[in-house]
Structure 1
Amino acid sequence: MSRTILISGAAQGIGAAIARLFYQQGYKVGIYDINETLAQTLADQLGSNARAGKLDVSDYSQWQVALEDFTLWAGGLNILVNNAGILYSGDFEKTDINAHHRTININVNGVLNGCHAALPYLKKAQFARVINLSSASAIYGQADLVSYSASKFAVRGMTEGLDIEWKKYGIRVLDVMPLFVQTAMVKDMDAGAIKNIGIDLSPKDVAQQILNLVNAKGTILTNTHTPVGIKTKIMFKLSSISPQFINRFTNLILTKKS
């Protein structure tokens, strides 16, 4: 069976970078996105081993249709990347409650739906992994990004739990935790952290880390979480050894608006 990967939110940004990189590695690539036209454009650019489809990750039935469509075409599913996500920034109380709800519905329920719907297909594969897009915002709750940060904490929790639970199936469930990445998602973002920390990562950086996790074998792959970028690695390490008040103080400084 050919190596196969399905990526949610794959029409642009990090998802598109993942699709391009895995296509170059010889995978059959599923490019599924709420913007089906943009997804099809990317699939056409890549070639005959790419398939596009519509997927609103918050709708479980669309996951079922997408997975059936992809696996019938590709012959199975080895890698699921839960990449789709949205971000609203700014003062918590000034952000419309519907925006907060939408963040949770896509970022949390989207991952929940994807993992649940994909399991029957992953169990059939000789080699299977799930890679979830978490964030450095899941290290410590972020001011001006409260619902986004909370959603990524939820992704972190789901990843940890399923990585243990699905060991019985031989399926690793992992996440990557990048800081801010150069995508449309962070354009005009209203958060002190992005002004103070800056944007050093590209979508290709995240895609390469995901490929590394997929290719890692045996004892090399032990950690459930993988911080992406030197700044995130430092923050992740410090959070595990610093007293809580130090972590809070550090985040107060980093997220302070000028």
Structure 2
Amino acid sequence: MSDIVIRVEGAGIRFRRNRRGRRSFKDLFAGSNRRARPDEFWALRGVDVEVRAGEAIGVVGRNGQGKSTLLKLVAGVMLPDEGRVDVHGGVAPLIEITGGFVDDLTVRENVHLTAGLHGMTRAEIDERYDEIIDFAELGESVDTPYKHLSSGMKVRLAFSVISRLEEPILLVDEVLAVGDKAFREKCYRRIDELLAGGRTLFFVSHNERDLKRFCTRGLYLDKGLLQLDGPIEGVLAAYDSDYGSRS
């Protein structure tokens, strides 16, 4: 598979330390080439990445180094302040377990709402509803409000919905660490199935075993900069050399 499905060119994104959220409305008209103010920092800067269809890429680095930010740029949740991000094909994002779910709606209602927001038709949702609930192991909780679910149950529901989407690009950001061991393995088998079907995977994790299981290529981010892009074994070795062994 040689088609490029994700192209990141010189991408950078800037945040403020002393404010909630992104830049002010006024700042949007100030231009993206100006230097960062003292209360700003670059979460990512000058990142160049090309991803081909069917690749499985692990993104590594310490907390706060830009891994999740990169996934959010690819997902279209955030826009770069400089450079560009082009994605060819739909994205199935498992980035934040609460994204798209409404506390006061039941599990059943949230399945229909979230799947619909991600582009499933009513007929597709009805067709896949039972397998979504069965996979999430929430058959006895379909009429329970989402806010009353445990963190593990929320992860199960989110993964079950997102993994049933037909989008060619899957983004997974560490959220599976919340689930129990048995369900994580069930999710990993599902990821194996998706990869065997030709899906493209962006996988953020601190677990070397999981990264080696799924990924052949790695990206190592540090201080918002792409330090290394190469075979996953070499990327993990460089990361371990810098910061010690991972789990």
Bin of the TM-score, shorter chain as denominator length: 0.3 to 0.5
Structure with a larger share of its residues in helix: 1
The TM-score, its normalising length taken from structure 2, stands at: 0.36
- Relative contact order (alpha carbons < 8 A, sep ≥ 6): 1 or 2 greater? 2
Q: Which has the larger radius of gyration?
A: 2
Structure with a larger share of its residues in strand: 2
The TM-score, its normalising length taken from structure 1, stands at: 0.35
